């Protein structure tokens, strides 16, 4: 039977319930002060204190070896922690990128010294990482990037500009992709390399970019002869493209690709019941949302299983992100449809605060981590259409 994708189911073992309950109890406590807007930020919310606490509980770098400050727990255990955090919109941004992307990259590609230095800090919630890929002229066409690393005595000099770098102004380290070989015109995917960059190095200028919500969570980062020592090259020189692409498979299938708006649903249900609007329409719309979410979670779990088994389900991950983004982008609309919420943000009313923030934020969901069009291109290619 020909089916073009693989989604073998993965069942979470019952033993993980204990962990789930622990995380839930912790979050019930920690969340008492969060506003609607805080909750709306979810995995982009940056809160060092919170990350330190999560680190103390052993919930960052969970799967990493103990000698690097990890906890040698399973990917499934990590998954449970991740989805519990997202279900309540916890502010995990200060450790998220390190835990999800940079740490695993260093484990696979980093030198022993890099691992020993950075992994324990990430796991404790002490080192915040940002991702330096996009540039003003290189978004979807990322491999056309021009920022350059030039060899000098004992290391490299970085020059150029990165943009849209989430939380760069708050982070300690950037993993940046720079051109080390020939120009983009001749060596597009070749000649790119990744570097660990100390965000306090001289020559780095971080300029906040205010977005439509009135906040400035991403930035433009300018590099003016920034020195990076030799031992901060990640992996092999010229292999940066393959390394960065592998990172993306992890990024694209995780619960943060369909749960960003989930925290809207419970308060919306409360409001509907309070206003006695939990009628047939509301039941149907809520039910649709539940069905879609359960199926997406099954797909995401399946991909986790495949990654754990050492496969690289790039096509499946692209499918999940595309479906997931569409799903989470619909959520504020769903609430508007059912509740007739006015376009007013009332910080004392959790639902209005959360809805206001998310309505303004959801357009980014099908941009970040690869646009919908790029993902559909990947899917079409996998189907043999390109």
Ligand X SMILES: Cc1cc2nc3c(=O)[nH]c(=O)nc-3n(C[C@H](O)[C@H](O)[C@H](O)COP(=O)(O)OP(=O)(O)OC[C@H]3O[C@@H](n4cnc5c(N)ncnc54)[C@H](O)[C@@H]3O)c2cc1C
Q: Which spans of this chain sit near other proteins (rule: CB under 8 A)?
A: 1-5, 7, 9, 11-12, 14, 16-17, 20-21, 80, 83, 87-88, 262, 265-267, 269-270, 272-273, 278, 280, 282-288, 290-299, 302, 316, 319, 322-323, 373, 375-377, 379-380, 383-386
Residue 218 binds to ligand X (criterion: CB under 6 A): yes
Contact 267, 331 (CB under 8 A): no
Nearest to 378 by CA among 310, 368, 370: 370
Instruction: Closer to other proteins by CB, 86 or 145: give it.
Output: 86
DSSP H or E run through 131: strand 129-132
Of residues 102-141, those binding ligand X (CB under 6 A): 130-134, 139-140
| CA–CA separation, 252 and 314 (whole Å) | 9
Of residues 330-369, those binding ligand X (CB under 6 A): 364, 367-368
Instruction: Closer to other proteins by CB, 27 or 173: give it.
Output: 27
User: Can you read off the two tokens belonging to residue 318?
Assistant: 């692209």
Instruction: Report, in Å, the least distance between residue 168 CB and ligand X.
Output: 8
Output 181-185 pairs: Cβ under 8 A, ≥24 positions apart: 181/238, 183/146, 184/143, 184/144, 184/145, 184/146
Q: What x/- string results for residues 292 through 331 when contact with ligand X is judged by CB under 6 A? A: ----------------------------------------
Contact 324, 254 (CB under 8 A): no
Q: Which residues pair with 131 in a beta bridge?
A: 175
| CA–CA separation, 213 and 215 (whole Å) | 6
Instruction: Report, in Å, the least distance between residue 2 CB and other proteins.
Output: 6
Instruction: Closer to other proteins by CB, 286 or 307: give it.
Output: 286
Q: Which residues bind ligand X (CB under 6 A)?
A: 130-134, 139-140, 164-166, 218, 364, 367-368, 370-371, 373-374, 377
């Amino acid at each position: 039977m020909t089916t073009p994708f693989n989604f073998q189911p993965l069942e979470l073992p019952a033993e993980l319930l204990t962990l789930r309950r622990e995380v839930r109890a912790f979050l019930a406590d920690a969340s008492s002060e969060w506003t609607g807007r805080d909750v709306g930020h979810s995995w982009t919310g940056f809160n060092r204190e919170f990350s330190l606490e999560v680190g103390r509980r052993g919930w960052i770098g969970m799967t990493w070896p103990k000698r690097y400050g990890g906890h040698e727990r399973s990917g499934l255990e990590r998954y449970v922690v991740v989805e519990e955090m997202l279900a309540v919109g916890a502010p995990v941004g200060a450790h998220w990128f390190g835990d999800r992307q940079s740490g695993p990259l260093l484990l696979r590609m980093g030198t022993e010294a890099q691992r020993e230095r950075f992994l324990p800090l990430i796991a404790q919630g002490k080192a915040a990482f940002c991702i330096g890929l996009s540039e003003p002229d290189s978004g979807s066409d990322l491999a056309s990037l021009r920022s350059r690393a030039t060899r000098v005595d004992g290391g490299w000099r970085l020059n150029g500009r990165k943009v849209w770098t989430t939380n760069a102004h708050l982070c300690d380290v950037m993993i940046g992709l720079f051109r080390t070989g020939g120009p983009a015109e001749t060596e597009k995917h070749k000649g790119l390399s990744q570097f660990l960059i100390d965000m306090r190095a001289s020559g780095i200028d971080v300029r906040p970019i205010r977005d439509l919500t009135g906040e400035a969570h991403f930035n433009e980062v300018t590099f003016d002869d920034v020195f990076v020592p030799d031992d901060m090259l990640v992996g092999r020189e010229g292999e940066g493209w393959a390394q960065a692409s592998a990172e993306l498979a992890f990024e694209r299938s995780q619960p943060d690709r369909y749960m960003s708006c989930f925290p809207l649903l419970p308060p919306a249900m409360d409001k509907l019941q309070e206003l006695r609007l939990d009628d047939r329409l509301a039941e149907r719309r809520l039910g649709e949302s539940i069905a879609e979410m359960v199926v997406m979670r099954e797909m995401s779990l399946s991909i986790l299983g495949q990654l754990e088994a050492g496969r690289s389900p790039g096509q499946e991950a692209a499918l999940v992100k595309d479906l997931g983004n569409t799903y989470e982008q619909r959520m504020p609309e769903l609430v508007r449809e059912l509740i007739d919420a006015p376009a007013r943000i009332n910080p004392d009313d959790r639902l209005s605060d959360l809805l206001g923030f998310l309505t303004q934020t959801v357009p980014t969901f099908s941009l970040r981590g690869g646009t919908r069009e790029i993902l559909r291109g990947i899917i079409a290619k996998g189907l043999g259409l390109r």
